[in-house]
Amino acid sequence: MNKLTIEDLELKGRRVFLRVDFNVPLDQNRQVTDDNRIIAAIPTIQYLLDHGARLILISHLGRPKGTPSEEYSLRPVAERLEQILKKKVVFSPAVLGPVAETAIDCLSDGDCLLMENIRFFPEEEKNDTQFSKDLASLADVYVNDAFGAVHRAHASTVGVAQYFDQAACGYLIKKELEFLGTITEKPTRPFCAIIGGAKVKDKIQVISNLLDKADTVLIGGGMAYTFLKVQGYQIGDSILDEEHISLVEETLKKAETLKKSILLPNDHLTAASFSNEIEVRTVAGDIPSGLLGMDIGPQTVDTYCNEIAKAGTVFWNGPMGVFEMSNFSAGTFEIARAMAANGGTTIVGGGDSVAAVNKANLAAKMSHISTGGGASLKFLEGKPLPGIAALTERN
């Protein structure tokens, strides 16, 4: 990646606008229940503070849709950040105007301030020009470390960057791009990609693009049934994405042309309705009507785990079944275990797969867990990430 990083910047005494991804889950008492995303930004925050920057942290939280509300306030995140950093974090309920400006003026070198949720402003998601200019006027230098938001062209991730002489990335973005870059440019082979989840539309482009890079693509989850249907199998009452059948056909043809293997489940855990409370039936091959495929079956688990064991590089995104239900979580957890046992490069790409890995206590066994499911998928689709494109090129 040929972009400025924080190590290229003059920092002492300078006001740094740092876009972070503090979009963390909160419980009913507004306590942070998972601080992984805050922790992931600490190396960058610490580096900037240690080098005498006056730090202004900007993030979004949830989807407040341009309206301020207590529910989506970042105040609890400021408290958690203060505990992690063991240092005062000023919280500014204002983002622009005299209150915010005074808070920034009061910062000394090595101090930090967290602004209120940037998505309280409708201009943020519109990437509004004036709003971007106003945000840029608050600081001297721009740093983006919000990997989870780089696939979105918003004011704080894209618009603002052009108004700074220097716009650099932090350590988290650097690390995420290094891992994703390695698997797409020079993976240790065989490279096995596992793609699951329910929506064909969200993943089909990734599968198609990965066929150029990976040796084997394993498909699980609800979307596998559209692939199986195209291949002529009966899928009973399993979910079928009729709208995207032609994309699935194209992808299967591409695999044939490239002589790459797309593996599909050959047995399934099924149920008569979408429920955890009824009998589970293991079905091989065709699924009779009246039954829904809910998870990959034991033979498929064996086949997929053998592929993972042989691989030098493994990328995984998306559950193999309805893993939220205990009867149908085995396939997903077996994939997590097989990856944890693999001695090569293992990357888990966001969302439900990360939740499964954390639940199985296997996070420490993976080479990399992405903090941005959407961003990593977009990268693997081969599409540009606007938040990265907006950063200053290194000469």
Q: Catalogue the active-site residues.
A: 37, 199, 351, 374
Among 148, 159, 293, 349, binds ligand AMP (CB under 6 A): 293
Say how far apart CA 223 and CA 201 lie, in whole Å. Answer: 9
Residue 177 is a binding residue for ligand AMP (CB under 6 A): no
Question: Which of 76-105 are b and which e, b meaning 16 or more Cβ less than 10 Å from the residue's Cβ?
Answer: bbbebbbeeeeeebbbbeebeeeebeebbe
Q: Which stretch binds ligand AMP (CB under 6 A): 47-55, 83-91, 195-203, 355-363?
A: 195-203
Under 8 Å between Cβ of 374 and 23: no
Question: What tokens does 101 get?
Answer: 């400006």
Among 24, 168, 169, 198, binds ligand AMP (CB under 6 A): 198
Residue placing its CB nearer to ligand AMP in the complex, 42 or 230: 230
Say how far apart CA 230 and CA 210 lie, in whole Å. Answer: 20
Residue 324 is a binding residue for ligand AMP (CB under 6 A): yes
Say how far apart CA 174 and CA 144 lie, in whole Å. Answer: 10
Of 361, 324, 193, 278, the residue nearest 332 (C-alpha): 324
Q: Which stretch binds ligand AMP (CB under 6 A): 13-21, 49-57, 114-122, 193-201?
A: 193-201
Say how far apart CA 273 and CA 293 lie, in whole Å. Answer: 10
Residue placing its CB nearer to ligand AMP in the complex, 64 or 318: 318
Q: Which stretch binds ligand AMP (CB under 6 A): 132-140, 176-184, 317-325, 358-366?
A: 317-325
Q: How many residues bind ligand AMP (CB under 6 A)?
A: 16
Say how far apart CA 242 and CA 151 lie, in whole Å. Answer: 28
Least separation in angstroms between residue 293's CB and ligand AMP is 5
Under 8 Å between Cβ of 46 and 2: no
Residue 202 is a binding residue for ligand AMP (CB under 6 A): yes
Residue 193 is a binding residue for ligand AMP (CB under 6 A): no
Q: Which stretch binds ligand AMP (CB under 6 A): 29-37, 81-89, 208-216, 313-321?
A: 313-321
Residue 372 is a binding residue for ligand AMP (CB under 6 A): no
End-to-end CA distance of the chain: 12
Report the residue closest to ligand AMP, judged by CB: 197
Among 294, 305, 308, 390, binds ligand AMP (CB under 6 A): 294
Residue 142: strand, helix, or coil = strand
Question: Which helix (H) or strand (E) segment is 135 a member of?
Answer: helix 129-136
Say how far apart CA 207 and CA 262 lie, in whole Å. Answer: 9
Under 8 Å between Cβ of 195 and 210: yes
Residue placing its CB nearer to ligand AMP in the complex, 293 or 344: 293
Least separation in angstroms between residue 222's CB and ligand AMP is 3
Least separation in angstroms between residue 281's CB and ligand AMP is 14
Residue 331 is a binding residue for ligand AMP (CB under 6 A): no
Say how far apart CA 63 and CA 92 lie, in whole Å. Answer: 20
Residue placing its CB nearer to ligand AMP in the complex, 169 or 287: 287
Say how far apart CA 17 and CA 161 lie, in whole Å. Answer: 10
Residue placing its CB nearer to ligand AMP in the complex, 265 or 344: 265
Say how far apart CA 165 and CA 49 lie, in whole Å. Answer: 20
List own/partner pairs for 25-31 with CB under 8 A and 24 or more apart: 26/76, 30/73, 30/76, 31/76
Least separation in angstroms between residue 319's CB and ligand AMP is 5
Binding mask 203-242 for ligand AMP (x = CB under 6 A): ------------------xx----------------x---
Alpha-carbon distances of 248 from 44, 202, 298, 376, rounded to whole Å = 41, 12, 25, 21
Least separation in angstroms between residue 316's CB and ligand AMP is 11
Residue 349 is a binding residue for ligand AMP (CB under 6 A): no
Residue placing its CB nearer to ligand AMP in the complex, 115 or 198: 198
Residues that bind ligand AMP (CB under 6 A): 197-199, 202, 221-222, 239, 293-294, 318-319, 321-322, 324, 351-352
